[in-house]
Amino acid sequence: MLATIASRVKTIPLVREKKEDLANIVKEIEADDKKRKITLDVAQGNLGKALSVIKNEVYFNIYYFCLDLIGKMNHSKNVLYYSSTIEKNKKFIDIYLEVLTMFYRDMLVLKEGVKTAIINENEVAYLELISQNYSKMSIIKVLQKLEQAKKMIEFNTNLVAVLDALLLGILEVKYKWKVV
């Protein structure tokens, strides 16, 4: 950056909302307690993120779908169902990948034993249960596959091929690096 530009720039510190303040704002918009908890977890103090999530019913459907996916996708025969469902809602692919990444990240955090760093506090018990089927290495590999899928979609690769490769890849690393 040029010095002349830097001299005219003012830094504005952005402060995250306190969880209680954010909870009050979200409470005014949404009556459903479960949706409010999910929103507060996902937003992590970011008011804009909280407002975009709480007003987006599709986000909650995707959230529960992804929970189902990570818990019940144990065989390659399940890949077609999950892949085709995501493909039908392809305009929300970024949300699917974001939520899956968030869940696998939380599972890795649980494996490391740092419960204070978990994003989805309301799903801790379920994520702990699911993470028993994964080793740390397999979760890391899944996160790498999710990042690779994001890049491939960014490069306009065939969505069905990317989803199939991603979901089969998740199964592969889950069993290749299986907890013994």
Burial class (CB in 10 A: 0-12, 13-18, 19+), 140: middle
State the residue for tokens 């204070």. 116
User: What average pLDDT does the segment 97-120 reach?
Assistant: 94
Query: Per mean pLDDT, which of 2-11, 23-32, 41-50, 81-90 is the most reliable?
Result: 81-90
Distance CA 150, CA 133 (A): 25
Tokens at residue 74, please? 């144990």
Distance CA 2, CA 25 (A): 41
Beta carbons of 139 and 107 less than 8 angstroms apart: yes
Domain 56-176 fold = Zinc Finger, Delta Prime; domain 3 (1.20.272)
- The 10s digit of each residue's pLDDT in 134-172 is 999 999 999 999 999 999 999 999 999 999 999 999 999
| Structural domain spans, the chain | 56-176
In percent, how much of the chain has pLDDT > 90? 58
pLDDT at 4: 75
User: What average pLDDT does the segment 14-37 reach?
Assistant: 81
Distance CA 14, CA 161 (A): 40
176: confidence class by pLDDT, cuts 50, 70, 90: confident
Q: Does pLDDT of 19 surpass 90?
A: no
- Residue by residue, DSSP assigns 25-92 as HHHHH---HHHHHHHHHHHTT-HHHHHHHHT-HHHHHHHHHHHHHHHH--STHHHHHHHHHHHHTGGG
pLDDT at 179: 64
What's this model's pTM, rounded to 2 decimal places? 0.86
pLDDT at 14: 67
Mean pLDDT of the chain: 89
pLDDT at 127: 95
More confident residue, 46 or 107: 107
